Structure 1
Amino acid sequence: MVLSWRRMVLDLEIGLKGEFSRIYSPEYQGSAEWSSMQNDDTVSPFTWFKTMFDAPEGNGPVTIDLGSMGKGQAWVNGHLIGRYWSLVAPESGCPSSCNYAGTYSDSKCRSNCGIATQSWYHIPREWLQESGNLLVLFEETGGDPSQISLEVHYTKTICSKISETYYPPLSAWSRAANGRPSVNTVAPELRLQCDDGHVISKITFASYGTPTGGCQNFSVGNCHASTTLDLVVEACEGKNRCAISVTNEVFGDPCRKVVKDLAVEAECSPPSVNQEPRYDI
């Protein structure tokens, strides 16, 4: 959605008249005179901007991209998001490899060269209404508010690694008459779950045996059941959540007398959506 911006340029006087007048609040919009902003307008320092927007669909966390702005503060419906300052790190100075051994210095293992220190800021859903939300910015140095956008975030990658020697799931536990806990003899379970309303769209890794590595870095070990991926895909893809027993009875025994793990990595997606929605303001 593309919305129109309005602005108010402050006179050079002591104090922040806009903050004193609370022009960032919906109840005090009548206390300031705003002028419409054109795309080719030059943005001056110490300028207030405002626009209205509708809340993005869904229940996922909402963020606003202020990377096109300089330095200032932002409010949504009278709530202060916080200060923003779009500083970009120097292009050079990041080593191609990192090793923390030896004497420490502030340049050791430096990363994110050429990237802004922060551009995304969280807007709590509790602050938003379905439509007619007020966004107000106080810009101190200059920027381009036409490039500001909203984005809905969700968990894109989920993963788990469970050993066949782990405890059974909680559903198998109970409390005996003497007060001591007891447990049925069932296999441990690997469970996956996406955000509410989202589904497991793809299994990117699955291995029952001796997989190595961690989440987003799994690899097949020396012992691997070749049917693992097909079984996990059948059990999980297209569902919001799934549970798989970690046992030879499900996957077979690819290596006898070896303790085996089940490692799975999956992608989550909103229903019928290939990428997260992005909303221009």
Structure 2
Amino acid sequence: MKTSTAKPRRELIDVRYADERAKTRIGWLDSKHSFSFGRHYDPRNTHHGLLLVNNDDIVKPGFGFETHPHRDMEIVTWVLRGSLVHQDSTGHNGIIYPGLAQRMSAGSGIQHSEKNDSWRLDGDRHADPVHFIQMWVVPDTDNIKPGYEQLEIDDELLRGGLVTVASGMKQHSGASAIRIRNRHAALHVARLQAGDSVQLPNAPYLHLFVARGAVTVEQAGPLAQGDSVRLTATGGQRITASTAAEVMIWEMHAAISG
């Protein structure tokens, strides 16, 4: 996909509420899509900035996504509750859990699966669903060697403030938990207690998603779990937690074009 670093001319704050999202509900999966995904296609809602997918998934125990292919995509998975087993064709496998940053670079081609069956690895069977957010960002270079990276960052999150979880931006070199292959994008996460606040970065494109709890965002108003805001040509607004909350913020200095 082609991308452009041309700066948008018009400031826009676009609030999207949780109930407005497209939904995929089958026996083992409850998935909500912030953007067009699968059979849910809307030409007016294909991406924001460099972000193509922001899926909010709950998977029942013993089920999951069987082995399937990806190509030329940076895929970041963030678990909110439970645990998710990742396996891929490059030989990586492991359990993803809350506080663990994980990135898969599909590059020239990769096969992977994601399942709620961690007892097969750790021996303790459970009956809990796994709740996770999966995000896809386009890379700035196609056909790279597929790769995988993960790092536990729970301690950093407990300290408060915005934590840079994934980034390809030069200024976050050595500071982000994991690296992605796009020099114009970064993901920040904050765990907030009621009354805590953080400030949005300034960027041509921002995507704020409320993963848990409730917050108030300057110029956007109150937001609950599953709500999001797409900001264009603006930034610097304060986010204040109304309850214990977790927010995820994509900072993007380019956008998909064409």
What TM-score, normalized to structure 1? 0.24
Higher relative contact order (CA 8 A, sep 6+): 2
- More helix per residue: 1
- More strand per residue: 2
What TM-score, normalized to structure 2? 0.26
